[in-house]
Structure 1
Amino acid sequence: MLELSILGFLAEQPLHGYELKERIAALSGHVRPVSDGALYPAIKRLVAAGLLAERIEEGVSAAPRRMLSLTEAGRADLLRRLRTPKPVEISDQARFNTVLAFLRHLPDRREQAAVLRRRLDFLQEPSSFFYRGGRPVAAEEAGDLFRQGMLRVARATGQAERAWLAEAVAELERDA
């Protein structure tokens, strides 16, 4: 997801590493903070793969800094990643939010709708944080106040997300 975030933010404008780190932290830092030890090697891999370009820009009152921008190959890779998110990028809420943050870069509304439909289909399957006898435990069956709270909040969040996804899919398919 770090690479998707890098490609997605650079699709919007060239940035230097610190700005990029700040934007990634704002998107997902509270869930999955990004360290320099993860970010800069990822940038180096993407540059080596020809997905990012680097240029040195003179600093105003600081040392020169490396500006990063997306190459055409990088844009193509971003679009490929957005068209075909991995199953975990659909099922994991934080990862799906990263896909969602950049889905607008996918130019085809039908393709956008297809990604949202995959998430909606996933959310239609019964699930829980807890299982008893191989079946999901509902909030009313949780047995303690705290697990009941977790399950009630998750149910309300899931209902709201499913409603939004259904509306968004309908809008995208209508406008396609």
Structure 2
Amino acid sequence: MTRRGAALELAVLGLLHDAPMHGYELRKQLIALLGWGRVLSYGTLYPCLKALTKAGYIAADPDAAAVTDATVVEPRGRRNRIVYQLTAEGKERFATAMEESGPTAWDDESFGVRFAFFGRTDSRTRMRILEGRRTRLEERLDNVRQSAARGRERADSYTLELQRHGLESVEREVKWLTELIDRERSGQDDSAQRQSDH
């Protein structure tokens, strides 16, 4: 499975962990949560749903009313919307996936998905992912700076501006990650999570 496919699978399991949804609602939630509007087509989502159903992680119920949009009335002649819900195996798969904290957890494809569900992850796992992501970005910064320094005299003003923009974006994310790591170390995120649970 590709990294993007694994990230999509995790996102689907995480959203269905909260509530059953039909495909249209699930796609809408994924786009809102992850900002995948231009790249998440039904041609990508439905094969993922089919594979998760085949694996036993989700169940598809074609006869259920759309749980998240119960006021929708299907026109005559159209199929009912299929509602997808997480199975016990799916809940276990999601929990296991959220415990993973190796390099794939902090790469560009996976980090945003994992971060979206950090509330369901223990502090130690969150720290490993945040620190791993920061280290990866710091290495990227070093490489881009070295590359930019070597090619500065040959680059035109637009290339230099693009490099500057890229550097500033990564520097902002490194700063943000450092702030998150500091808060995590101080225990602020755990106390906020405990308060929201009550």
TM-score by length of 1: 0.80
Checking the alignment, whether the CA contact within 8 Å between 1:6 and 1:20 is kept in structure 2 is yes
Partner of 1:7: 13
Gaps of 5+ in 2: 1-6, 67-71, 191-198
Over 3 Å counting, the alpha-carbon distance change for 1:147 and 1:98 in structure 2 is farther
Partner Cα distance (2:149, 2:86) in 1: 46
Partner of 1:122: 136
Letter in 2 for 1:109: S
Query: Identity, % of aligned pairs?
Result: 29
Q: Does 1:20 align with 2:26?
A: yes
SS of 2:82's partner is strand
Q: Does 1:103 align with 2:118?
A: yes
Partner of 2:87: 71
The one of 118, 125, 136 equivalent to 2:147 is 136
Partner Cα distance (2:101, 2:46) in 1: 23
Checking the alignment, whether the CA contact within 8 Å between 1:46 and 1:52 is kept in structure 2 is yes
Structure whose residues are more often strand by fraction: 1
Checking the alignment, whether the CA contact within 8 Å between 1:10 and 1:69 is kept in structure 2 is yes
In the TM superposition, residue 6 of structure 1 has moved relative to its aligned partner by 0.9
Over 3 Å counting, the alpha-carbon distance change for 1:110 and 1:88 in structure 2 is closer
Partner Cα distance (1:114, 1:9) in 2: 23
Over 3 Å counting, the alpha-carbon distance change for 1:119 and 1:50 in structure 2 is same
Checking the alignment, whether the CA contact within 8 Å between 2:101 and 2:125 is kept in structure 1 is no
Gaps of 5+ in 1: none
Let me know the Cα RMSD of the aligned residues. Answer: 2.6
Instruction: Report how many aligned residue pairs link the two structures.
Output: 168
In the TM superposition, residue 25 of structure 1 has moved relative to its aligned partner by 2.8
Letter in 2 for 1:29: W
TM-score by length of 2: 0.72
In the TM superposition, residue 151 of structure 1 has moved relative to its aligned partner by 1.5
Checking the alignment, whether the CA contact within 8 Å between 2:105 and 2:114 is kept in structure 1 is yes
SS of 1:159's partner is helix
SS of 2:56's partner is coil
Letter in 2 for 1:70: L
Runs of 4+ in structure 1 displaced over 3 angstroms?
A: 85-89
Partner Cα distance (1:152, 1:47) in 2: 45
Over 3 Å counting, the alpha-carbon distance change for 1:82 and 1:91 in structure 2 is same
